A and B are shown apart, each in its own frame.
Chain A
């Protein structure tokens, strides 16, 4: 089966601009997770979708971050407006069952300058 796909792999944007990250989970995986790793820190949970519903968005840092999963397939994570501290690697993972059998994407490295 195809893995979890993230796009773009790298993005460099200026402070104040908008960026949209995309994650295509493994087909049939209802659970989709977003994580972020900022420089020198551990990976942190952002949010969890079950199909198209947000199951847990407790890790979203602020209202500049908007995640959607229309139709329960792919998900987007939009940062608007981007700030310098948003730089990091954003990972997506999917699983068939919650908390079991995660498959991670390759990540999107976001640099805000």
Chain B
């Protein structure tokens, strides 16, 4: 079992839908990253959080340290949100989840 588990692994939705991607981890962490990888391959850091909630535009990330769980939400999803979303926790080093492939259809 991986130390970081994401769900779902694949998600297809229609434009405008509210999206939730979940991340559970089993190790002690100091912080958690949500990353976005576009088809071109580059990785962009969306959020780093260690408690509570952060919001940037249509993206919201929450974390519950006691439950060892984080969620990434996308409101009013758009086809350009299509990407792989990766949860990574900072333990002794960065440990990555397997990623969630999100496809938003027009």
Interface residues of A (CB under 8 A from B): 9, 33, 35, 41-45, 48, 56, 89, 91, 93, 99-107, 109
Contact = CB atoms under 8 A, between A and B. Distances in A.
Interface string B37-48: 000111111001
A99 B41 CA distance: 22
Given A102-B33, A104-B35, A106-B40, A43 B45 contact: no
B12 interface: no
Given A42-B99, A43-B86, A33 B94 contact: yes
A104 B88 CA distance: 13
User: Interface SS of chain A: helix, strand, loop or mixed?
Assistant: strand
Interface residues of B, number: 23
Contact of A99 (B30, B35, B96, B98): B30
Contacts of A42: 2, 4, 86, 96-99
B11 interface: no
A44 B97 CA distance: 10
Contact of B94 (A9, A45, A103): A45
